[in-house]
Chains A and B, each alone.
Chain A
Amino acid sequence: MVGPALAPSPAGGVALENANPLIYRRQGERPVTAREEDDELPDAIDDREIFDLIRSINDPEHPLTLEELNVVEQVRVKVNDAESTVSVEFTPTIPHCSMATLIGLSIKVKLIRSLPERFKVDVHITPGTHASEHAVNKQLADKERVAAALENAHLLEVVNQCLSGRP
């Protein structure tokens, strides 16, 4: 098990931790370029493509996306296609956010499901934005813990809810 930090569920009817978050504008769909429509030319996987994968993940607490809450930003996404590495920093809305691990887990799962297996995926908290930054990062980097967490039906349900599109 991943530890108590993952346990609280938003469905419990408890008051929201951050009831009135600041809402940011969503980026539009990435415009399709002529190059992308050309059958022959290869398109490298770039920062925006990774960002598009995670920006529509739902927040576990609000009916909003991580992008709208500014939890993920394109500038905090780094990808190197040639070396097959991805690094994503995310910023919890408040420093004591108990959902931080759950959000990180959702991002990680989404990337693992959506990227070719050759990629090494690193998801961590933007430095200095969360009280227990270290502990959360450690949990997210631990493969076995992540795998174990996903075998927990309740957790998987919450993660899947975050990952399925808006109702």
Chain B
Amino acid sequence: MMAAGGADVDAGAPGSQLQPWERESAAREAAEGVKAGTCTILDVVETLGSPLENADPQMRARGLQMLSEVLLQCYSLLQEKEVTHLVLFFENRLKDHHAVIPSVLQGLKALSMCAALAPGLAVSVLKAIFQEVHVQSLLQLDRHTVYSIITNFMSSREAELKSLGADFTFGFIQVMDGEKDPRNLLVAFQIVRDIIVKGYALGPFVEELFEVTSCYFPIDFIPPPNDPHGIQREDLIASLRAVLTSTPAFAEFLLPLLIEKMDSDVQSAKMDSLQTMNAACMIYGQKELKDFLSSLWSSLRREVFQTASERIESEGLSTLRALSTCLSRSVLSSDDEDLLDSFLRGILQDCRHHLCEPDMKLVWPSAKLLQAAAGGSLRAYYQITKSVFPLLVEQYNKHLQSSQHRTILEVLLGFLELRQKWGHEEEDKSPLLCSKDALCSMVFSALVEPNVQLQLVGIRALTFLGLLQGLLDLPDMDRLVNSLAQFILHEEDSQTSLAAMEAAGTLTPFYPEAFSRCLVQKLSEGLQSELREDSTQFQQDRCLQALAAVSTHPSIMKETVPVLLQHLQKVQKGSTQAGVQSVVSVCQSLKQMALQCHQNAQNYWYFHQAVVPCLMGLAVQAAMQENTHTMLSKVLLTEEALSAMVLVISAACMYLSPELAAQSVSKAVPLFLDGELSFLPGNSFPSTFQPFQDGQRPVQTQKKLVALLMAFVCSLPRNVPIPQQDRLLRDLLALSCSSDCLFTATAAAKCFAGLVNKHPAGPQLDELLGAAMDKLEQGLNEGPHRIQALTLLLWVSKALLLRYHPLTTHLTDKLLMLLGDTVLGPAVGDGFALLMADSPDVLGKSCHADMRLMFRQRFFTECVPQLVQGFHTAAPGVKANYLKGLSHILNHLPKPVLVTELPTLLPLLLEALSCSDHVVQLSTLHCLQPLLLDAPLVVSLHVDTLVGKFLTLTDSPAMAIRIAALQCLHALASLPTPVVIPYKPRVIRALAKPLDDKKRLVRKEAVTARGEWFLLGTPGR
């Protein structure tokens, strides 16, 4: 028999006999022919003539399929006349044997995509399909083809289809009625949504259309395992919800359905109903909701009063809010009743009395419902609070216990917080204004009750009252600020005073005068009070903290910055008896202020100009006076104080715009290179400032201030030019390798590294690095400054590693070699932590360092094989250094990378656990712990060793190691039960000992771990 009917379709290959599998390529060839213009589609039809008219339906189907395939490839080239012929042909074929229908539909699908479709044909095709095809008895794929034809026509022939009127809608209802396949449903839902949204006539078929879609609600679909189509339950839910909530016309059918499903016992049905209701509120008005409000309310009320799940409760509340919004939005005609009013009255009636019950049992559910209803609109808020505020005041006065007071105040707080939603509006005649006095006295009375929790709620309530501008008058505001001041200065509980500071910081931008008058003054007085006893130091710290916290408004900042700087000046002059701690506290406050004000460029610039020169000036002065003056001035030069100043200067520079930064740095660098003092305020400098010149002791002290220079130049944006950069870099390089003082050398090395990291590539950088390499070789080999040289090596390696500089490999090799050094080895091992960690200062993101995303992985792949090899060949005395380096690298790697490398590394890590070095043990434990959870398969192979080693380490003399070992044991319990169950008795027995550890933190971990092992393999776990 002839396979494909001798499809002699190509003029180029007449008479060739085609095998079935060649049909596709024949179709492609025919299509090519049509595209190339060597034949027309009618030629193709004619050539296919015999199979198309064959008596065997199978043969006809093949012929039609072939034609459809050709059409699918070249439908865009067809002429209008050809299309008309083909459409009529295919329509006619719809009446043919059912076996040919799929191929016919394919052809119609191709034709539905033709631009050259004559007017009227779309309607006629659809009519034919509606009439001749029983869609739901077709296969899934063929049903999908029908939907595609409809979708195509809807997007290209909308007007034509609309001329069909409601018949189109009815036709489609019949097409999709009974559809079961999720893939087809997604398309069908989309079509229904388009029918509604694009305004096709629904005619008398609204209910039918609702029925044919709503029968799937709530969606109950679990995708089969390994489903290649990836359709999730959520996709169907969202798609159906879009249909159901697309028109208010469905309301009368949808609302009873939703209420019925809300009342069901199935949690997912409840959830879906609530969410759908929520979405429906977006388009409904009072007309649609009118008849259903009371049933909706009783269903929602039940979900909150008898809550079974937190998710459903919160969804219920959000639906209530949506209802309230919907009712508030509706436009009323003159004779309509305002349903919002009666709806809220009902809610109040059902909830009010619970607020008044003496045992206060249902206070919270009621308050939540009331707040949700009030959250619908400002109008709803006013109506609810008009009744609730007086009630809360009354209840507050009636109850006596502070826990009851707290509950009532928390409810009030919720309402006050809610008011923020609508922004500022005239509070004229609002319930808040009417109850203002009573509410204020209630909140103020809470503040004086001796209960910290109550005070905390009171402070938050005050904050919200304060945020409602125009509510509080001047005396109220003064009272508020004074109460906050009282808490800040005199409250012993740090939680309360912190909350008061936070409140002050929030409110300052709104009432700068009041805070300046009542708080800032008191704080600066508190700071100036002479230190008499220990307690005053504590109070001074409070004042410093508070000064920083309230500096959230430019005008306040201009008052507080000088107060803090004066305090430092006094320390420097020795006129106040202050220790390092107070310098550090001042610096912390200054840093916080810098970070608070950086968004406002003008304030930030003010802060920079006021603070940076002043701090540098104080330090320079102290360094010059060092040997002449009292011991006191030394306070500023301690490493602790300098480090604190570094943080302030860095914070005051990192957000500068490039222009301002360039302006400022052009004065700061000459100060250090040439002793140019004009950058500093004041002019009382007794001697010269030459930190980079060699000299005697006073100059040694001056050299420490390089740390301040580092904070400045290394925090600037990358494109800011540093004046005399080359000279500066060479001076820093020399200093870093020659200073006896480690602090100085480290600061110089970091400064050098920070600048090198941002230095543009090119011969200048190469030359500079060449000089650095020479210095390093020299310094590392011999002499008194090997540690300094190593510090420089580590920082430069980090600077180059971050930017993927080619020299990195060379430096890494050097570090790996030094791991074998008996003296420097341990420090090198620790240094790997520095290389891998995020740098908080000079090489960090905030300092605009040039940092590539994957530098850790890069270092890992380059370095670890050598490290492992080095470990195996190293002398026994230095093996620990390699393990230390390795565990630092692994600790900082992203987990996914680690998990893939684990099989090769695990043996080494197990070895590291037996290493006697505590740092190695600890960092190995930290590295292993997350892997135990993430790579159970690999870990399971070594479970025997792991259990043993971890148990041994629970006896370590170091607390941190005992804790980490117990955490690892806890993690082991999450391995597959059959793997770990054999160890259960042993672990439980062994963990009895750490239960009696002398340290509480260890006991806590032991309890958790042991508890988990007890649950292993038991029912109810």
Q: A128 to nearest B CB, angstroms?
A: 18
Chain A residue nearest in CB terms to B309 = A63
B998 touching A23, Cβ below 8 Å: no
B1015 touching A160, Cβ below 8 Å: yes
A158 touching B361, Cβ below 8 Å: no
* Residue A3, interface by CB 8 Å: no
* Residue B475, interface by CB 8 Å: no
Known: A20-B305, A53-B1007. A37 touches B996 (CB 8 A): no
* Residue A156, interface by CB 8 Å: yes
Residues of A within 8 A of B1018 (CB): 156-157, 160
B1000 touching A36, Cβ below 8 Å: yes
Residues of A within 8 A of B453 (CB): 25
Report Cα–Cα, A25/B1015, bound state, in Å: 28
Interchain CB contact (< 8 A) of B1020 among A23, A39, A43, A161: A161
Which residues 993-1011 of B sit at the A interface, judged by CB distance below 8 A? Answer: 995-996, 998-1001, 1003-1004, 1007, 1010-1011
Report Cα–Cα, A19/B1003, bound state, in Å: 36
Report Cα–Cα, A36/B999, bound state, in Å: 7
Q: A64 to nearest B CB, angstroms?
A: 11
* Residue A131, interface by CB 8 Å: no
* Residue A75, interface by CB 8 Å: no
Which residues 147-167 of A sit at the B interface, judged by CB distance below 8 A? Answer: 153-154, 156-161, 163-164
Contact indicator per residue, chain A 115-154, by CB within 8 Å of chain B (1) or not (0): 1111000000000000000000000000000000000011
B995 touching A158, Cβ below 8 Å: no
**Most chain A CB atoms below 10 A, which of B360, B957, B1015:** B1015
B958 touching A39, Cβ below 8 Å: yes
A20 touching B999, Cβ below 8 Å: no
Chain B residue nearest in CB terms to A37 = B1001
What number of A-B contacts does a CB cutoff of 8 Å give?
A: 68
* Residue B89, interface by CB 8 Å: no
Residues of B within 8 A of A159 (CB): 1020
Report Cα–Cα, A156/B1017, bound state, in Å: 12
Known: A39-B959, A114-B995, A114-B1011. A158 touches B1003 (CB 8 A): no
Report Cα–Cα, A54/B364, bound state, in Å: 26
User: In the complex, how many residues of chain A place their beta carbon closer than 8 angstroms to a beta carbon of chain B?
Assistant: 32
Interchain CB contact (< 8 A) of A19 among B306, B1019, B1021: B306
A158 touching B1020, Cβ below 8 Å: yes
Report Cα–Cα, A37/B1007, bound state, in Å: 18
* Residue B1014, interface by CB 8 Å: yes
Interchain CB contact (< 8 A) of A22 among B360, B996, B1010: B360
Report Cα–Cα, A51/B942, bound state, in Å: 37
Chain B residue nearest in CB terms to A110 = B1011
B995 touching A115, Cβ below 8 Å: yes
Known: A22-B361, A114-B1010, A163-B1015. A42 touches B995 (CB 8 A): no
* Residue A32, interface by CB 8 Å: yes
B1019 touching A113, Cβ below 8 Å: no
**Most chain A CB atoms below 10 A, which of B360, B959, B992, B1020:** B1020
Chain A residue nearest in CB terms to B310 = A63
* Residue A45, interface by CB 8 Å: yes
A160 touching B1020, Cβ below 8 Å: yes
Residues of B within 8 A of A49 (CB): 1000, 1003
**Most chain B CB atoms below 10 A, which of A110, A116, A154, A159:** A116
Residues of B within 8 A of A52 (CB): 1004
* Residue B2, interface by CB 8 Å: no
Report Cα–Cα, A45/B1007, bound state, in Å: 13
Report Cα–Cα, A157/B1021, bound state, in Å: 7
Known: A22-B359, A32-B1001, A43-B998. A156 touches B992 (CB 8 A): no
Chain B residue nearest in CB terms to A24 = B403
Report Cα–Cα, A92/B946, bound state, in Å: 43
* Residue B771, interface by CB 8 Å: no
B1000 touching A164, Cβ below 8 Å: no
Report Cα–Cα, A153/B1004, bound state, in Å: 28
B1019 touching A43, Cβ below 8 Å: no
Contact indicator per residue, chain B 489-516, by CB within 8 Å of chain A (1) or not (0): 0000000000000000000000000000
A43 touching B1000, Cβ below 8 Å: yes
Report Cα–Cα, A36/B1007, bound state, in Å: 17
Which residues 949-966 of B sit at the A interface, judged by CB distance below 8 A? Answer: 957-959
Contact indicator per residue, chain B 330-366, by CB within 8 Å of chain A (1) or not (0): 0000000000000000000000000000011110110
Chain A residue nearest in CB terms to B1007 = A114
Chain A residue nearest in CB terms to B988 = A113
Residues of A within 8 A of B360 (CB): 22
Residues of B within 8 A of A118 (CB): 996
Residues of A within 8 A of B1015 (CB): 160, 163-164
A156 touching B1020, Cβ below 8 Å: yes
Interchain CB contact (< 8 A) of B992 among A53, A117, A160, A164: A117
Q: B955 to nearest A CB, angstroms?
A: 14
Could you list which residues of chain B lie within 8 angstroms of chain A, going by C-beta atoms? 305-306, 359-362, 364-365, 453, 957-959, 992, 995-996, 998-1001, 1003-1004, 1007, 1010-1011, 1014-1015, 1018-1021
Could you list which residues of chain A lie within 8 angstroms of chain B, going by C-beta atoms? 19-20, 22-23, 25, 32, 36-37, 39, 42-43, 45, 49, 52-53, 110, 113-118, 153-154, 156-161, 163-164
| A-B pairs, 4 with minimum CB distance | A160-B1020, A157-B1020, A116-B996, A157-B1019
Pairs A–B under 8 Å by Cβ, sample size 21: A19-B306, A20-B361, A20-B362, A22-B359, A36-B1000, A37-B1001, A39-B958, A39-B959, A43-B1000, A45-B1003, A114-B995, A114-B1010, A114-B1011, A115-B995, A156-B1018, A157-B1019, A157-B1020, A159-B1020, A160-B1019, A163-B1011, A163-B1015
